[in-house]
Amino acid sequence: MRKRNGRVLAPMSGVAQPLEAVGDEVFARGVLGAGVAIRPSSGRVVSPVDGVVSSVAATKHAYGFTAEDGTQVLVHIGLETVGLDGEGFRALVAQGQRVKAGDAVAEVDLALLEARGLDAVTPVIVLEGAAEACATGRVTAGRDVLLRVPGSAVAPAPEQPRRRGGFDFLQRLGKTLMTVIAVMPAAGLALSVGKLLQMPGIALLTGVGVMLEQIGWAVIGNLHLLFAAAIGGNWARERAGGAFAAVVSFVLINAITGAIFGVSSDMLATEGATVRSLLGQELAVGDYFTQVLGRPALNMGVFVGMVAGFLGAAAYNRFYNFRRLPQALAFFGGKRFVPLVVMAYSLIASVVLAVVWPLVQAGVNAFGVWIATSQEVSPVLAPFLYGTLERLLLPFGLHHMLTIPMNYTAFGGEYVIRTGAAAGTVVYGQDPLWLAWVTDLMALRQAGDAPGAAQLMAQVVPGQFKVGQMIGSLGLLPGVALGMYRRIPRERRAACRSMFLSAALAVLLTGVTEPVEFMFMFAAWPLYIVYALLQGCAFALAGVVDLRLHAFGGIELLSRIPMSLSAGLAGDLINFLLACGAFAAIGFGVAYFMVGRFRFATPGQPGSDVHSESQAGGEAQGNARAERIIALLGGRENIVVVDACMTRLRVTVKDASLVGDAQGWRGVGAVGLIVRGTGVQAVFGPEADGVRADVDDALRAGAAD
């Protein structure tokens, strides 16, 4: 904890006057907090503090700021200006944007306010705290100190935003990606059910199972596009415009990277096809490229979606209101200018990626070669490094450069089949090798050749680079999920239970780990790093005890248990179950401690976009408060119009005598009540717009009934 003694600068130039002189009871009585008012002489509005823009009213007449020391400041431009619905106001910043004191944040047409008969006096309020006025008379925006906040305890969370800038960025990114993550459990569940339906071999069930499986893979296989739209929509001033710009950038980057290298669809289908990088490096087309939206592109996984999302949002935020074109080209101004900028940004990004990405991927490939040749000399270290790096590469979509070669190529080992009609055939990769090895063991044991089976077990050790992932999906990750869930406040758990349960079930049954990993990969990146190290330890365990198993998820493991037992791997199965139990306990303990200690914004936690503060108590509690507010307003029949500004619920009623008293309104969270004629203003502070939405929803639901 530290003390704050912050300064709040004048956000507008003009004449400072006591707040008590303002012709609005809410401000004059200090209901929202202490402050000073400015009668502006200029329409330029600047930030009064160094910090973050915490809120921007939809009507652009009020702005909230959170200073670096945690001070909350409200700048309300004019009185009753909410009725202009944004006319005469121009916002120059967006919510969440970092600003310095004196940075321009808005412009207001003071002449328009005067013409409409509105008072332009601007209250500057320190919310939920004391403040001392430091100026009277004329003040200059961004230069003169208007208020001073006396020393008081500041909560640790906003204490040092500069030092935690990267952390805050990833926290926000994690919350943004919750838009995509919310559909991941459903996709994983579709995969699980699809696999189960295909197991009996009944034609009708198999057809339905295949369809469900394709639904799941359709989501998981297009995460890069979904990430682009989610980031673009959440980072831009306008969701639809930002998402559209991000999708355009996604399409362009993928198309341009393929065109830069001259890769064609025929080359993707031709084994051994190669191209030259911009630095002269020879690239195997099958290793470095894939098909995206029907066109060849660099295989960058979800990373390309992140790049496109930020590019689209940046282009939109900077140029959505661009008006500097010649008159003849005026049609392309404003939002129509954004696609042109996106094209330019995407071209530059594509060239940079065309140079950088092959180098990154080559490094990953080199690591894979070392792993493949070090199995004998590094039975513990090699699996540990492999498992750790494979998980650390997942956020960038590069993990497949390790898993695919390990599972299906000579990197994962080669094996000569010893029994049956296929004797003498060579198979490559962890999965085919394990199946061939187990089949040989079964044949040798059935033939009574116990010495031959024992010798085969001693000579070949398959599963070394797979069983760790199985321990992760059947033990470690479910433990992490349970730890995150148990840290959710009790009143929110019911709302999050189905999400966590379906995600964990998908991981357990199919081995597809993303539904749980994306819950904390960005929102709690330190936890993800620890998880990656633990995953590496799970892989390394195969070099310590017998864990010669191989499967993709619980369903496949169950189907392979009879084979494993017939091959003499009962001890391995017991070791595996014990390892899963141990890592589940470790995962639970680590997640429970880290989420609680560092207050990560994982799903259900305060600060998470999933069941966040605006939804505290769940939908049922929000509806209950809305119904109480409707009753305080005299019932549905007495309500004419419901609206809100930055801090107040504004309602027009038919009969004001039916409106409840101030004590009743305090019971629903209002800190002040003003009734003038048929106009009712209930002061809720920054949550006023959320209260309006709840009341609107309740009114619509009542009308439907």
Active site residues: 76
Sign of CA dihedral 141, 143, 148, 152: positive
Cα dihedral 96, 101, 103, 109 sign: positive
The answer to whether the Cα torsion of 116, 118, 120, 123 is positive or negative is negative
**Percent composition of the chain: helix, strand, coil (DSSP 3-state, to 5):** 55, 15, 30
| Beta strand segments in 544-600, E | none
249 sits in which H/E element:
helix 239-260
CA quadruple 610, 611, 613, 618: dihedral, nearest 10: 170
The DSSP letter of residue 472 is I
List the beta bridge partners of residue 76.
Answer: 62
Within 10 A of 396 (CB to CB), how many other CB atoms are there?
15
DSSP element (H, E) containing 570: helix 570-598
What is the spatial distance between Cα 242 and Cα 311, in angstroms, rounded to a whole number? 9
> Three-class SS string for 283-300?
EEHHHHEEEECCEEEECC
Burial of 30 (0-12, 13-18, 19+ CB in 10 A): middle
E-strand stretches of 41-121: 44-46, 51-56, 62-67, 72-76, 89-91, 98-99, 104-108
CA distance 274 to 282: 7
Kind and range of the H or E run holding 698: helix 688-704
